[in-house]
Amino acid sequence: MILDPLDKFGYFGTKTGDILEIDLQNAIYKRQGPLKTLFSQGINTIKMLPNSDLLVGTGDGTIAKIGFSNMKVKAESKLMGAITSITLTADSAYFFSGTDQSNIYWIESANLNSEIRNTCHYDRINDVCFP
């Protein structure tokens, strides 16, 4: 979940893959999105950009930018692994995103162009051998 800067509205990502907008002052449901599509395996993380657009990370590895005014998907990118975190830079022009497969991506906020920055082993280790 994420709150807008004025703490008037809350945006809640669900395991069914949609976003609910709630008026926190009156405890009233306002709307849901994104329109005409749901995200597979639910929404794991959500962040708000300075222009109020939403960045969401999903369980199937999709990063999407949702327009604030109409709750439609503006841009979308697919990463390796379920998205576990989104961390914006100070100016919100870029952000880091982590996945459950131990990948870290550097992503441009405007069009969601991504490049992998770091990766490592994420599965169990069965044996260690020293020479």
Transcribe 15-77 into DSSP letters: TTS-EEEEETTTTEEEEEESTT---TT-EEEEEE-TTS-EEEEETTSEEEEE-TTT--EEEEE
Segment 66-100, tens digit of pLDDT: 999 899 999 999 999 999 999 999 999 999 999 99
- The mean pLDDT value for 58-62 works out to 95
Domains of the chain in start order, with CATH, are 2-117 (2.130.10.10)
pLDDT exceeds cutoff 90 at 121:
no
Rounded CA gap, 91 and 88, in Å?
Answer: 8
Tokens for 10, please give them.
């809350």
Q: Which residues pair with 127 in a beta bridge?
A: none
pLDDT band of 123, cuts 50, 70, 90: confident
By CB atoms closer than 10 A (0-12, 13-18, 19+), residue 122 is: exposed
Q: What is the mean pLDDT of residues 20-45?
A: 92
Distance CA 20, CA 130 (A): 53
